[in-house]
Amino acid sequence: MACKKVVCLLGNQTKVCKINVPAFTTGIRNKASWEPVEKETHTGQKWDAKDYRLVRFVDKPKQVNPNWAINLIDDVPPTPTTKRVVACDGGGGPTGHPKVYINLDKPGNHSCGYCGLRFYKEDAH
C-alpha cells in the first residue's frame, strides 16, 4: 500500500519524528449524469436540457405514472345497447359526473365527453 512520509515536530523538543501514514486513496466513482432520463408523459411534456428546474431531479428518479387514463379507458369494452339515446353519469353518486345524453344514431362507438366510456347501438334485426 502506498504511504506518505509525514514529518511532525514535537512540541518543545528538537527531535524530528517521521511517521508513515497511509495515503488517502480516492475511490473511483461512476460519474452519474445530472440530467435525468427523460420519460414521456401523457401530455408530451419535455424539459429543455439547460432548464434550471431540472435540479430537482439530481440523483432522484423522475416519477412518471405509466398508467395513462386514456389507456385505462381503452381497456373497458364499449357497452352495447338497443336504444337510440343513452345517458351516462359516470357511475353515479359522488364519484360520477353530470348526466349527459349520447345519440347513437350513427354507426360506430360513441364516447362520453366526461369519462370516455363508449357506447354503441346494436341493430335488432
Cβ pair 117, 72 in contact under 8 A: no
Question: Cell triple for residue 62?
Answer: 423522475
Residue 75 Cα distances to 36, 70, 80, 114, 118, angstroms: 31, 9, 15, 17, 11
Contact of 90 with 115, CB cutoff 8 Å: yes
**Cβ partners under 8 Å of residue 91, min gap 6:** 115
Torsion of CA 75, 77, 45, 67, to 10 degrees: -20
Strand partners, 56: none
Q: What is the pLDDT along the chain (125 residues), one digit of tens a residue?
A: 444 544 444 445 555 555 565 555 555 555 555 555 667 777 777 777 788 888 887 887 777 888 888 888 889 999 999 999 999 988 777 878 899 999 999 999 999 999 899 999 998 66
Q: What is the pLDDT of residue 66?
A: 81
Is 77-121 CATH 2.60.260? yes
Assessment of whether the complete model's pTM goes beyond 0.85:
no
Per-domain boundaries in the chain: 35-66, 77-121
pLDDT of residue 6: 45
DSSP 8-state secondary structure symbol assigned to residue 24: P
Instruction: Of 45, 41, 89, give the one whose Cα is nearest residue 66.
Output: 41
